[in-house]
Amino acid sequence: MRHLSTILVTLYAGLIYLFIFLPVVVLVLFSFQDGSLPVPPLNGLTLRWYEAIFADGKLMAALGNSLLVALISSAVACVLGFLAAYAFARYTLPASGLLRGLIVAPMTVSTLIIGLGLLSILNITGMRLSLVTVGIGHVVINLPLCFAIIYASMGGHQVNIERAARDLGAKDWQVMLLVTAPMLLPSILAAFFLSVTFSWDEFIVAFLLSRFDVTLPVEIWSMLRSGLDPKTNAIGSVVFLISVAFLVVMEFTVFRKTGKSS
Amino acid sequence: MAATALERMERRKAWAFALPALLWTGFFFIVPFAYMAAISFWTRQGREIVATWTLDNYIAFFGKAHFFKGLVVSLEITATVTVISILLAYPLAWIIAERVPKKWQRFALIMAILPFWTSYVVRSYSWLLVLSKGGVVNQALLWLGVIAEPLELSANRTGTVIGFVHFFVMLLTLTIYANLIQLSPNYRRAAADLGANAFQTFWFVVLPLTLPGIMVGAFLTFVLCIGDYITPQILGGNNELVLPQVIMLQLGRRADFPMAAALSLVLMVVVTLAYIACARWLKMERT
């Protein structure tokens, strides 16, 4: 009985893991396809599609743009989120519940609506679509997340340490920068890394709010128009590798402390 | 007197810290959203948006089949995806929580959600590779002799559903696992002491206690699934469009901003209703 259930459990888990990994394995495997169609049979292995993507100026520019937008918009979202969290956790503001609700409101709305709204406003203000407008949109998406994560970690136990710093003559900005921020560093980093991954992967807002300079998901999107192409596999595999590397860094730096207990 | 001056200064400081975030959200979210809501009651003439108040866009949504059908298709696909994803994810979450040794659980979980972190666009494209006529699945089945003709697995609803299920199995595994791991083993011990067998313990004790995790995951699935444009656009073909595709179509070819805005608001109302239903249920569960 025990034996049978172990077999069943292993079989089920195996099948689900197969389902989960199938597309990724196929993606990576056929990025080495020696032929122009990334479907079976596998004709042989080649690195020429990787050469092709690294020689593709537009693709590499898009990759750079994506990194730039992700890092800057996440940094802005974290700074704004941290300041707001500090204000709401350390002071009493009138209607603070409502205002906090306002800051997290974009989280409850689909990104399509955020993008459409921004696009319609930009249309009447005449501001040109660029990476800046994409970045603005990504801050809107990530600010609620950063605020919520940092606000949640601002407990009462840090107040006494801040008070001690103040008694010892630290100014407000010194307290915030040299005392509060270092104490909250794990959650600030978690917020930052999560924002980066969201922004790095975000498509709809980037698609609606960009024109000539585009981010990587938008560029890959336009590559899809030509159908199945091993070159798309190659860039997809590179993106996957970057994301996994990122995840590994996150696992070992940010989440390890909190995850150890489990 | 001095105290109030100090208080006033403190309050001014608090505002200074909160204001950047509030202004950002106000300028780039609330104002655009309000403007879009207004536009949805306007019309367009050619490429211009004209500010005459009318309900025409909403009437068109309920009156014209291709708009309304978008919502119906969206709801059908979302419901299918949510149910299948829960059925597939629950056993996996259970296996990871109960059968995998403690020190391997974190690794098993990370592996189960690893492809979650691939780019969204790339993930849908990967499924196209797997499901297309010459793709891995069809080739394998043909080679095994299971089928004589390639199956139609992409460019239709099947493709969209498979692509979605893949994503949401990972998400739901995470939320259900988080719920399972919190359960005190005492519940199960008590059930066993009272004479319940393994199945009864699961069905009458463990499952009801993990309903909140299932509900939270199902709500996330609903919201993300119904608002998604990429997966149906890449895997679903052109025969039936979901609401986000209809919205993007208004934007692209027809440049009909008011109609797109109205459809977006309809989408938002549906999501809000789902949220209210879910929140109510969770509240009821707690009392």
Q: What pLDDT digit, counting tens, does each position of A120-158 carry?
A: 999 888 889 999 999 999 999 999 999 999 999 887 778
B274 by DSSP, 3-state: which?
helix
- Look at A23 and B264 and tell me if their CB atoms are within 8 Å: no
More confident residue, B65 or B21: B21
Q: Which residue has the higher pLDDT, B7 or B124?
A: B124
Place B287 in a pLDDT band, splitting at 50, 70 and 90. low
Q: What is the pLDDT of residue A188?
A: 93
Q: Could you say which architecture CATH assigns to the domain B66-286?
A: Orthogonal Bundle (1.10)
Q: Please check the confidence at residue A1 and state whether its pLDDT lies above 80.
A: no
Mean pLDDT value of segment B6-19: 88
pLDDT score of A93: 86
Choose among A118, A172, A203: nearest Cβ to B28. A118
What residue segments make up the domains of chain B, in order of their start?
66-286
What integer pLDDT is reported at residue A260 of this predicted model?
42
- Would you state the pLDDT for residue A255? 66
Q: For residue B231, name the pLDDT band (cuts at 50, 70, 90).
A: very high
Q: Which of A80, A93, A236 sits opposite B20 (nearest CB)?
A: A80
Q: What is the pLDDT of residue A21?
A: 93
Q: What is the mean pLDDT of residues B227-234?
A: 93
Indicate which of A28, A129, A240 best probes the interface with B, i.e. most B CBs within 10 Å of its own CB. A240
DSSP string, B84-125: HHHHHHHHHHHIIIIIS-HHHHHHHHHHHTGGGGS-HHHHHH
pLDDT value for A19: 95
Q: Are B262 and B243 in contact (CB under 8 A)?
A: no
Confidence (pLDDT) at A54: 94
Q: Could you tell me what percent of chain A has a pLDDT over 90? A: 58
CA–CA–CA angle B50, B53, B55 (5° rounding): 115
Average the pLDDT over A55-81 and give the result: 96
Smallest Cα distance from A34 to chain B, Å: 16
pLDDT band at residue A117 under the 50/70/90 scheme:
very high
- pTM, two decimal places: 0.88
Distance of CA A123 to the CA centre of its chain: 27
- Note if the bond before A41 is cis, omega within 30 degrees: yes
User: With 70 as the cut, is the pLDDT of residue A262 above it?
Assistant: no
Q: Give the start-to-end residue ranges of the domains of chain A.
A: 57-259
Q: What is the pLDDT of residues A212-260, one digit of tens each?
A: 899 999 999 999 988 889 999 999 999 989 888 887 887 777 666 554 4
Of B284 and B156, which is predicted with more confidence? B156
Q: Is the pLDDT of residue B248 over 60?
A: yes
Q: Region A188-215: what's the mean pLDDT? A: 92
Q: Which residues of A touch B16 (CB under 8 A)?
A: 87
What integer pLDDT is reported at residue A261 of this predicted model? 38
Set of chain A residues whose Cβ sits within 8 Å of the Cβ of B166? 19-20, 23
Query: Would the CB atoms of A9 and B24 count as touching at under 8 Å?
Result: no
Q: Hey, what CATH topology would domain A57-259 get?
A: MetI-like fold (1.10.3720)
Q: How far is CA A6 from CA A11, B98, B117, in A?
A: 8, 12, 30
pLDDT at B117 over 50: yes
**Please, how many CA atoms are within 13 Å of residue B180, restricted to the half-sphere of its CB?**
22
**How does the average pLDDT of chain A come out, rounded?**
89
Shortest distance between the Cα of B286 and any Cα of chain A, in A, equals 22
Which pLDDT score, from 0 to 100, does residue A236 have?
A: 93
List all residues 6 or more positions away from B151 whose beta carbon is below 8 Å from its beta carbon. B137, B138, B141
Structure confidence at residue B16 (pLDDT): 92
Which residues, other chains included, contact A61 with Cβ-Cβ below 8 Å and sequence gap of 6+? Answer: A213
Please say if the pLDDT value at position B216 is more than 90: no
From chain A residues 94-113, the ones with a CB under 8 A of any chain B CB are 99, 102-103, 105-106, 108-113
Q: What's the rounded mean pLDDT across residues B64-87? A: 94
Q: What is the pLDDT of residue A227?
A: 83
Give the pLDDT band of residue A160 (cuts 50, 70, 90).
Answer: confident
pLDDT attached to residue A259:
45
Q: If pLDDT is split at 50, 70 and 90, which confidence band does A203 have?
A: very high
ipTM of the complex model: 0.88
Go through chain A and tell me how many residues it has: 262
By C-alpha distance, the chain B residue nearest A23 is B126
* Burial of B144 per CB tally in 10 Å (0-12, 13-18, 19+): exposed
